[in-house]
Amino acid sequence: MMRVCPMMIDDKQEWAELRNRLWPTSKGPHEQDIEEYLCGDSHDIVTAFGVRDSEDSLVGFIEINVRSHAEGAPNKYVPYIEGWYVSDSKRGQGYGSALIKSAEAWAKERGFSHMASDTELSNEASITLHKKLGFDEVERSVNFIKSL
């Protein structure tokens, strides 16, 4: 049995561990990002949900921000999935879908009509899952930066 609920202070350690799996090259700021969210000071996370398995272990999370725009969205201010992760051993069992449904319900309750997301061009599993859950692909891009 899975349970989706808003992320709370007691989730900090498990949440940070899951974030480390999703973004392994940026381990440093995870605890700080989580702390800022829990204190209401985050500029990157407006809401976050976690999903727990039958053993009450946190096995996934979704983090939502509200961006001023999103490619393909007809309105300004769009809930945007900034992070979405489910542990490898729990994939394909509905955990990711349950997180999306919770995020969608949160957005609808606040009057939003769309939700946006992105993934890396090479992440075929994520692209397939997004489409399966009703997302339409609207753009592909390669981004660049140069140090000056």
Backbone angles phi, psi at 131, to 5 degrees: -65, -40
Q: How many CB atoms lie within 10 A of CB 78?
A: 21
Supply 42's token pair. 């985050």
Which contiguous run of DSSP H or E holds residue 79? strand 78-86
Whole-number Cα distances in Å, 70 to 73, 93, 139: 5, 29, 10
- Tell me the per-residue pLDDT of 85-143, one tens digit each, with 9 for 90 and over: 999 999 999 999 999 999 999 999 999 999 999 999 999 999 999 999 999 999 998 88
- Tell me the per-residue pLDDT of 63-83, one tens digit each, with 9 for 90 and over: 999 999 898 888 889 999 999
Report if pTM > 0.85: yes
Which contiguous run of DSSP H or E holds residue 62? strand 58-67
End-to-end CA distance of the chain: 52
Distance CA 78, CA 82 (A): 12
